[in-house]
Structure 1
Amino acid sequence: MMSDLALIMALASESKGLFEAENIAVHYSGIGKVNAAFKAFEVIQKTGCTILLNLGTAGSSHFDAHSLVEVTTFVQRDMDVSPLGFEVGVTPMDQEFPEAINLEPYFQHLPKGICGTGDSFETGEPKVPCQLVDMEGYALAKVCKKLGVRLISVKYITDGANDTAHLDWEENLLLGAQKLLALYQSMEH
Structure 2
Amino acid sequence: MSQEIALIMALPNESKGLFEAEGIEVHYSGIGKINAAFKAFEVIQKTGCTTLLNLGTAGSTHFNAHELIEVSQFVQRDMDVSPLGFEIGVTPMDHHFPGAIELESFFEHLPKGICGTGDSFETSMSKVTCNLVDMEGYALAKVCKKLGVRLISVKYISDGANETAHLDWEENLLLGARKLLDLYRMVK
Measured against the shorter chain, the TM-score band is: over 0.9
Q: How far has the Cα of 1:87 moved from its partner?
A: 1.1
Q: Is the 8 A contact 1:77 1:126 kept in 2?
A: yes
Task: Look up the match of 1:38.
Answer: 38
Task: Look up the match of 1:103.
Answer: 103
Give secondary structure in 1 for the equivalent of 2:108: coil
Partners of 1:69 and 1:99 in 2: CA distance: 21
Q: Which runs of 4+ in 1 moved over 3 A?
A: none
Partners of 1:183 and 1:126 in 2: CA distance: 28
Identity %: 81
Task: Look up the match of 1:147.
Answer: 147
Q: How far has the Cα of 1:80 moved from its partner?
A: 0.2
Kindly report the root-mean-square deviation, in angstroms, between the aligned alpha carbons of the 2 structures: 0.5
Partners of 2:133 and 2:108 in 1: CA distance: 21
Structure 2 residue runs without a partner (length 5+): none
Superimposed CA distance per residue, residues 37-89 of structure 1 (whole angstroms, 9 cap, x where no aligned partner): 00000000000000000000000000000000000100000000000011111
Task: Look up the match of 1:81.
Answer: 81
Task: Look up the match of 1:135.
Answer: 135
Q: Is the 8 A contact 1:92 1:98 kept in 2?
A: no
Task: Look up the match of 1:7.
Answer: 7
Give secondary structure in 2 for the equivalent of 1:182: helix
| Partner AA of 1:180 in structure 2 | L
Q: Is the 8 A contact 1:9 1:56 kept in 2?
A: yes
TM-score (norm 1): 0.98
| Count of residue correspondences | 186
Q: How far has the Cα of 1:186 moved from its partner?
A: 1.4
Task: Look up the match of 1:167.
Answer: 167
Partners of 1:87 and 1:148 in 2: CA distance: 26
Task: Look up the match of 1:24.
Answer: 24
Partners of 1:153 and 1:115 in 2: CA distance: 10
Partners of 1:92 and 1:31 in 2: CA distance: 24
Partners of 2:141 and 2:12 in 1: CA distance: 20
Q: How far has the Cα of 1:98 moved from its partner?
A: 2.8
| Partner AA of 1:35 in structure 2 | N
| Partner AA of 1:32 in structure 2 | G
Superimposed CA distance per residue, residues 94-149 of structure 1 (whole angstroms, 9 cap, x where no aligned partner): 11113100000000000000000000000000000100000000000000000000
Partners of 1:94 and 1:14 in 2: CA distance: 32
Give secondary structure in 1 for the equivalent of 2:125: coil
| Partner AA of 1:174 in structure 2 | L
Structure 1 residue runs without a partner (length 5+): none
Partners of 2:7 and 2:182 in 1: CA distance: 14
Partners of 1:91 and 1:100 in 2: CA distance: 10
TM-score (norm 2): 0.98
